[in-house]
Amino acid sequence: MTALAEPLETPDADRSDTGGIALLTTAHVFNDANQSVVPALLAFLVAHHGFSLASAATLVLAMNLSSSIVQPLFGWLSDKRAMPWVIPLALLVASTGTALIGVAPNLPLMLLAALIAGIGVAAFHPDGARAASHFSGAKRGLGMGLFSVGGYGGFALGPILVTPLLLAFGLHGTLFLIAPGAIMAIVLACNMPRFDRANAHAHKHRTRAGVDDWRGFWLLATVVALRSTIFFASVTFLSFFTIAVLHGTPGQGAIVLDAMLLTGVGGTLLGGHLADRFDRRRIVGASLAISLLGAAALALAGAYAPSFPLIVVLSSLLGFGVSLSAGVIVVLGQEYLPHRVGVASGMTLGLAVTLGGVAAPVFGAIGDRYGMIAVFATVAGMALLSGALSLALPQVRPGNPSRAKAA
C-alpha cells in the first residue's frame, strides 16, 4: 500500500498554509463556476433553440452524470498516490467543456461538451479536498469551510460571468470562459512545489486514526445526495421561478439566483467555523431545517404573496441554509472513512453532490406540467426527508490503535 492509502493525516497545528488554502479556494471558484454556468445558460438556450425545460435540463444531467461516473475513480486514485497535477488539468478541461456548450450547433453536441466539463469538475475535487486538508493544519473544519466557499463563490460567479457575455455576444460568448480557467490552471501548475511540500509534511506527521464506519458514511452520502437535489433544483429553476411567478425578466431571475449563491458563501464560512467547535451532525441537521423553511416559504410566497423583494429574501434564506453544511459534510465524511480520505472527499464533495443534478430533468418535468410553485414544494419535501435522515447519523468512532493500519 502506498503512503496516501494510510490513515487520515493529522498535521500539527502550527503548520497551516493560509496561502495554499487561498490558492485552492480561488481555483475552486473557477472550477465550480462551470457548474452554475450551465443552469444560467438554460433560459437563453430555450429562447434560442426552442428547447423544453426538461430537454434543456438534460445538460445539467449530462454534466452531473459524467461527474458521478468518474468521481469514485479519481477518489480511489487519490488514495493510492499524490496527484496534485490533476488539479490544474481538471480545471482546464472543465472550462473548455463549458465554453463549448454555447457554440455547439445542436443538443447532442451540447451534451458532449457538458459531459467533458463534468469530467473536469469531478477530477478536481478529490485531490483538491486532500490538498485543502493538508494546508489546513489542525483547523480542518475551517480550512474545508474556506475551500467549500470557493465552490459556492464559483456557483455565484458563473451567472455573473456568463450573463453579460451572452447579452453582448450571444451564445458564442461562452468561448470567453476558457480564459479564466486557463490562467488559473497556469498559476496552479507554477505552484506544484508548494503542494508537494504540504503532502510531504502531512505524511511526516501522519498518525493512527479511527476505524472506517461505512454504515455512517453511506447514511451521510444519502443525506448529501438529497441535500444536493435541493441545491441543484434551486440553482436550476430559481430564475424560471422568478420569471413565471413575478413575470420578471431574465436579469431579475439572475439577481434572485445570485442572492441565493452569495448568501451561501456566508453560510459556508459560518458552518466551517462552527464545525471546529460543535457536533458536526447537529450542524448538518440545522442546515437542512433552514433549507426546508426557505423552500416552503418560497412556494407559499409564489402562490399567495409574489413580490420581488420577498423572493430575494427567501432565496437568500434557502441559500444560507443549504450551504451551512457544505464544508462540514466533507470533514464528517473524512472522519467516517479516515483510511479512505480520497474516496470520502470525492463522494461528499463530488459524487454525492453531483447526484443531485441527476434529478434536474425530473424537476423540469414537474415544472412543465405543474408549474414552478410545485417545483419548490417538492424541494421542501426533499429537505424534510434529508433532515429526518440526518438525525440518524452516528457519532464518529473513536480511534482503535489495534485495528488502525500501520503508518
Q: Rounded to an integer, what distance in angstroms lies between the CA atom of residue 24 and that of residue 12?
A: 20
pLDDT at 201: 67
Reduced to 3 states (helix: H, G, I; strand: E, B; else coil), residue 407 is coil
Residue 221's CB is within 10 A of a number of other CB atoms, namely 21
Cell of 57: 435540463
Distance CA 194, CA 190 (A): 9
What pLDDT shows up at residue 399? 53
Tell me what pLDDT residue 362 has: 83
Task: Provide the H-helix boundaries in 84-191.
Answer: 86-101, 107-136, 140-169, 178-190
Chain position carrying cell 414537474: 366
Contact criterion met (CB below 8 Å) for 120 and 93: yes
Distances (CA, A) of 13 to 67, 133, 198, 271: 34, 12, 13, 20
Phi and psi (nearest 5°) for 406?
Answer: -65, 140
Which 3 state secondary structure label does DSSP give 104?
coil
pLDDT at 176: 92
Query: Counting beta carbons within 10 angstroms of the beta carbon of residue 135, is it exposed (0 to 12), middle (13 to 18) or buried (19 or more)?
Result: buried
| Run of H or E including 22 | helix 18-49
Phi, psi of 206 (to 5 degrees): -65, 145
In DSSP terms, 210 is beta-bridged to 399
Quick one: pLDDT at residue 205?
A: 52
Looking at this protein, which amino acid is placed at residue 240?
F
CB contact at 8 A, 396 and 335: yes
For 371, list phi and psi in degrees, rounded to 5: 100, 170
Cα 35 to Cα 98: distance, rounded to the nearest angstrom: 8
* pLDDT value, residue 229: 87
First to last CA, the chain: 10
CA-nearest of 231, 31, 262 to 151 is 31
List of the chain residues with pLDDT < 70: 1-16, 79, 82, 137-141, 201-210, 350-357, 397-407
- The H-or-E segment that residue 56 falls in is helix 53-80
Which of 137, 197, 133, 143 has the alpha carbon at shortest distance from 342?
133
H helix intervals, 208-324: 214-246, 250-275, 280-304, 308-323
Domains of the chain (ranges, CATH numbers): 9-390 (1.20.1250.20)
- What does the angle CA 194 – CA 199 – CA 204 come to, to the nearest 5 degrees? 125
Is 31:182 a contact under the CB 8 Å cutoff?
Answer: no
Q: What is the pLDDT of residues 377-390, one digit of tens each?
A: 998 888 899 888 98
